Structure 1
């Protein structure tokens, strides 16, 4: 049995036969203004859909640690108490229980028969240097229980040619995609830092997942493409819409 429960923003609880993986823990209450670095500010507006205890989590997959909409104060507290965090090399320098991975580097959890591969991500417009946004990765999870293919978590990324290789290397059954068309218009104009619906469609066509789960499209003021626009865009492609699952916060999706 595999279940996926959306908690908040890009925070998702993945339960693979009782082994519990939490992604990008964002667990703060709404209302506060956060500084994300390089001049970027935004306010959190969403409420976590469920309480999460570190005692119940076996692994955290953290796409990056430098932005509060993926790793807030309560999220960091939880991550510091779990047995293992897999993240970027930069994040591993700040968390004592973290293992840093480069794109295409793998980590195996032998007793669970899990293989986790870090995947490339580009969390900035092409004309903005990477160091301003920082290093980001996605993840591919392989398991005998995922008999139809791997589970892919995009991390915060725009569409770029590096995504194509993921579809060439892996057969993707379930794709969890970070969308929302993040922008800081007062800093970098209309440049995007995550996928919008148009680029999500391009990514889906490249990777061809059997099931699509969008997350990271609400809850913060710097997310510029709202859910109704995302839904309308995906509905224009009947094949994509048929395999898209919009998670209901706090409600487990059985796969």
Structure 2
């Protein structure tokens, strides 16, 4: 099946057209700067690579951290008909936001007829069990997109759990395109410095588990707390024998 283009804007933000609808992941369009957060500070280091234009659906993994939804991103949500996110996030955002619990699905009408199904899937924003991680880093959701005659697309969100990836693969694998949040972000004050989203080696392992034909990494550049970038991704996927599946745009 022909791969569709994915446009990257930096950080976790990507735009793709699927089934005639334009989907945008975790909108971050602010200029570089610092953000105060409960346990310290986040620093954005790079400008966004343009603007997205019209968007039909935002796929928002979570609303609580500015490296996933910044000031400009919040303003953009008001212009988008539908934002799919966590159940708690939808309550906070209101407006056109709808929460998806794990394995909950919504059908979206395609402009030319037919539907796209978006299913919320598990994500754990840190190491260990979800019940231990969620009170600290918050509720996160990933997404799987399917439709008749369309490729299967997985958007991981801020997930660090390979067990969650295995559950998703059991239900939806093999995946045609996996948009994997990577970058090995870590903080000394959280989980003893353990990664809170996939590192490069884990992203390669996730690609193998999913049987992904193409992997588009996001969330690995543009912020100071990302500790692994493009070179680490290339090295990890090469070591895993999956370099041909890596799409770095």
Q: CA RMSD in A?
A: 1.6
Shift of the alpha carbon at 1:52?
Answer: 2.6
Instruction: Calculate the TM-score normalised by the size of structure 1.
Output: 0.89
- Determine if contact 1:159/1:200 at 8 Å carries over to the other structure: no
Q: Deviations over 1:201-230 (max 9, x none)?
A: 221121111111111101111111122122
Candidates 148, 153, 167, aligned match of 1:165: 167
**Could you say which structure has the greater relative contact order, defined with CA pairs below 8 angstroms and 6 or more residues apart?**
1
**Partner residue, 1:220:** 223
Pairing 1:49–2:49 present:
yes
Structure 1 distance, partners of 2:165, 2:18, is 25
**Partner residue, 1:87:** 85
Structure 2 distance, partners of 1:138, 1:243, is 21
Candidates 47, 59, 72, aligned match of 1:74: 72
Alignment of 1:27-176 (within 5 A): 27-30=29-32, 32-37=33-38, 39-53=39-53, 56-95=54-93, 96-112=95-111, 113-126=115-128, 128-146=132-150, 149-171=151-173, 172-176=175-179
Query: Which aligned runs of 4 or more in structure 1 are off by greater than 4 angstroms?
Result: none
Shift of the alpha carbon at 1:135?
Answer: 0.2
Q: Deviations over 1:143-163 (max 9, x none)?
A: 2342xx410000001133122
Instruction: Calculate the TM-score normalised by the size of structure 2.
Output: 0.91
- Runs of 5+ consecutive residues of structure 2 not aligned to the other structure: none
Secondary structure of the corresponding residue to residue 50 of structure 2: coil
- Determine if contact 2:19/2:116 at 8 Å carries over to the other structure: no
**Partner residue, 1:20:** 22
Structure 1 distance, partners of 2:66, 2:233, is 23
- Determine if contact 2:20/2:110 at 8 Å carries over to the other structure: no
Pairing 1:210–2:213 present:
yes
**Partner residue, 2:192:** 189
Structure 2 distance, partners of 1:73, 1:86, is 18
Secondary structure of the corresponding residue to residue 57 of structure 1: coil
- Runs of 5+ consecutive residues of structure 1 not aligned to the other structure: 248-255
Distance of aligned partners of 1:163 and 1:187 in 2 relative to their CA distance in 1, 3 Å threshold: closer
